[in-house]
């Protein structure tokens, strides 16, 4: 694809703006700003990635992954507002999800730890782990509110907190995993994922693209599960005080 | 030595409202104590304090001479069993509720004991296969009582455990409670409005968070 063809494809945005104007959707400005931002951001990322890939330095790559995780942990941690140590927990959960899956992929020689592979793959892992941790937090907060009585009755029978909250913990992990599981089921039927589409457009053999996509599906299943598990098993503690009572 | 000593206990609600206002009384091992008083007097809150589901805002509670705070909460709650006023069953099936105490102590469920309690509480074994939502209020109440008995506590806190029962079933449950009490030398504290059936020798009468009467005999 030449730059000229890419430029011409902007006419499609103009078409959208015309429709917006005629139908009074008042989206012209958003469309314009949106497309300019997309161009600027992607171009910037493209150059940054090009630079990073050229470095091919172990520590540099690791530092970038850390920045990625810190950002994701911060965002997921905010979902857990009110839960003790939510930012620390989400950091730990995402790091675990990332190291287990990335480590496994490298050990299996599916990818290697060079920036052009480790960074995009980690981006997907961290992004999905972040969503999963956020879902765990939200689910725990909601079930501790809705099912407080159940937990208290179990506590009163002499259940330790983890046992009393067991079904809530389980539900939060399940809630976090379900989107990924559902996505796996519909892969290739309902959706051709972005990664595969990109590879195919760039001229890759569809069979190769599929191989990568399968790897991505498996790795996300693993990452999401590990992150959700770790997050829930630390986060539930924040709902109890040292007397094993539910804190309100 | 008194088995339970409650010493000038105050409890405020989350909103700062006074729920218990300087409660003092003692319970001797083997007592069968009636805890009486109008709605909102603080009876259930007192039981939650004894089961340590709540902690006093001030004042102390002792069990066998040791402050409640010094016990491991899990061990304490198994010693001082609480039967909730509103029965709450959490299992998919009733069986799950009744095997839960065994799960907690990591023992094999003693089905003989479960069947024995069911029979004494006038319940059929078929109830074990039912969903909690399929039970009547009185059935749920009896299952909830049996569930706490299966924890094998030394002190029983019964919060209106016969409120949904007819005369005949109230009698059966009382017989069950008194038999257990005699066999195991349990200490029983019971909240009820049915003074006639319970026939306490000793009562604690609360009103508006304060002890209005504590002692022998009936009110
Ligand atoms: N978690 C809570 N937070 C604030 N106030 C509470 C809480 N639980 C109970 N209360 C209040 O404390 C008071 C005593 O409640 P409690 O349930 O102990 O009364 P009770 O004597 O058991 O009444 P009843 O006979 O109706 O069961 C009531 O005014 C109630 O509204
Ligand atoms: Mg009450």
Q: For residue range A168-218, what is the model confidence (pLDDT) as tens digits? A: 999 999 999 999 998 888 877 766 677 778 888 888 888 888 888 888 889
Share of chain A above pLDDT 90, in %: 69
Q: What is the average pLDDT across B107-116? A: 97
Cα separation, A231 vs A140, in Å, equals: 10
Quote the pLDDT of residue A14. Answer: 93
Quote the pLDDT of residue A209. Answer: 84
Residue for token pair 């972040």: A130
Which residues in B110-169 belong to E strands, given as ranges?
155-159
Q: What is the average pLDDT across B168-197? A: 94
Distance from Cα B218 to the centre of ligand 2, integer Å:
20
Q: Do B74 and A244 touch (CB under 8 A)?
A: yes
Nearest CA-CA distance, residue B9 and chain A, Å: 17
Q: What is the average pLDDT across B73-100? A: 97
Quote the pLDDT of residue A186. Answer: 81
User: Based on C-alpha coordinates, what's the Rg of chain A?
Assistant: 22
Output the residue whose Cα is nearest ligand 1's atom 29: B40
Q: Is the pLDDT of residue A128 over 90?
A: yes
Q: Is the pLDDT of residue A22 over 80?
A: yes
H/E stretch holding B48: helix B43-50
Q: Is the pLDDT of residue B219 over 60?
A: no
Cα separation, A97 vs A132, in Å, equals: 10
Question: Which residues span the domain enclosing B106?
Answer: 2-216
Residues with Cβ within 8 Å of residue B116, at least 6 apart in sequence = none
Quote the pLDDT of residue B190. Answer: 97
Helix axes A28-55, A115-146, angle to 10 degrees: 120
- Other CB atoms within a 10 A radius of the CB of residue A36 amount to 11
pTM of the model: 0.87
Q: For residue range A134-175, what is the model confidence (pLDDT) as tens digits? A: 999 999 999 999 999 999 999 999 999 999 999 999 999 999
Quote the pLDDT of residue B218. Answer: 61
Q: With contacts defined as CB-CB under 8 Å, which chain B residues touch A157?
A: 77-78, 81, 100-101, 104, 147-148, 151
Quote the pLDDT of residue A55. Answer: 84
The CATH number of residue B38's host domain is 3.40.50.300
Share of chain A above pLDDT 70, in %: 98
* Full strand arrangement of the beta sheet holding B210-216: B80-83, B155-159, B187-191, B32-36, B202-207, B210-216
Average confidence score pLDDT of chain A: 92
In chain B, how many domains are there? 1
Among candidates B185, B188, B211, B183, which has minimal Cα distance to B198? B188
Minimal Cα distance from B68: which residue of A?
A: A243
H/E stretch holding A210: helix A206-235
Contact A171, A139 (CB under 8 A): yes
Q: Which two tokens stand for residue A149?
A: 């009585």
B16 in ligand 1 pocket by Cβ < 6 Å?
A: no
Minimal Cα distance from A160: which residue of B?
A: B74
Q: With contacts defined as CB-CB under 8 Å, which chain B residues touch A150?
A: 88, 90
């Amino acid at each position: 694809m030449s730059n000229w063809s890419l430029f011409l494809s902007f006419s499609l945005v103009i078409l959208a703006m015309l429709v917006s104007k005629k139908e009074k959707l008042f989206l012209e400005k958003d469309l314009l700003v949106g497309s300019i931002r997309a161009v600027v951001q992607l171009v910037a990322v493209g150059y940054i990635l090009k630079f990073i890939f050229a470095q091919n330095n172990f520590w540099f790559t690791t530092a970038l992954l850390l920045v990625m995780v810190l950002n994701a942990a911060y965002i997921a941690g905010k979902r857990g507002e009110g839960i003790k140590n939510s930012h620390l927990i989400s950091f730990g959960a995402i790091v675990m999800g990332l190291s287990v899956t990335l480590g496994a992929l490298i050990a299996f020689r599916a990818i290697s730890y060079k920036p052009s592979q480790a960074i995009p793959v980690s981006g997907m892992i961290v992004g999905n782990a972040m969503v999963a941790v956020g879902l765990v937090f939200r689910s725990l907060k909601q079930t501790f509110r809705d099912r407080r009585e159940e937990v208290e009755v179990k506590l009163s029978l002499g259940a330790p907190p983890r046992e009393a909250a067991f079904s809530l913990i389980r539900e939060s992990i399940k809630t976090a995993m379900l989107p990924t599981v559902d996505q796996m089921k519909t892969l290739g039927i309902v959706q051709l994922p972005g990664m595969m589409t990109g590879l195919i457009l760039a001229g890759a053999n569809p069979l190769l693209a599929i191989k990568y996509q399968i790897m991505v599906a498996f790795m996300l299943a693993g990452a999401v599960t590990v992150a959700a598990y770790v997050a829930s098993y630390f986060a539930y503690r924040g709902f109890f005080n040292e007397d094993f009572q539910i804190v309100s | 030595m008194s088995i339970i000593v409650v010493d000038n206990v105050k409890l405020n609600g989350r909103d700062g409202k006074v729920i218990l206002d300087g409660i003092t009384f003692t319970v001797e091992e083997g007592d069968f104590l009636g805890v009486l008083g109008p709605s909102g007097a603080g009876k259930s809150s007192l039981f939650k304090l004894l089961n340590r589901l709540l902690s006093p805002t001030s004042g102390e509670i002792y069990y066998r001479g040791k402050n409640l705070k010094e016990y491991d909460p899990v061990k304490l709650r198994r010693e001082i069993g609480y039967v909730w006023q509103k029965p709450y069953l959490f299992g998919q099936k009733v069986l799950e509720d009744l095997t839960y105490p065994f799960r907690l102590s990591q023992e094999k469920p003693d089905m003989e004991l479960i069947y024995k309690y069911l029979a004494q509480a006038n319940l059929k074994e078929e109830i074990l296969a039912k969903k909690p939502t399929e039970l009547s209020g009185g059935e749920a109440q009896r299952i909830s009582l049996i569930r706490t008995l299966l924890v094998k506590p030394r002190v029983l806190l019964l919060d209106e455990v016969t409120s949904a029962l007819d005369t005949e079933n109230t009698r059966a449950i009382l017989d069950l409670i008194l038999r257990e009490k005699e066999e195991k030398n349990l200490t029983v504290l019971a909240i009820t409005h049915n003074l006639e059936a319970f026939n306490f020798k000793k009562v604690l009468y609360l009103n508006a968070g304060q002890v209005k009467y504590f002692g022998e005999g009936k009110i």
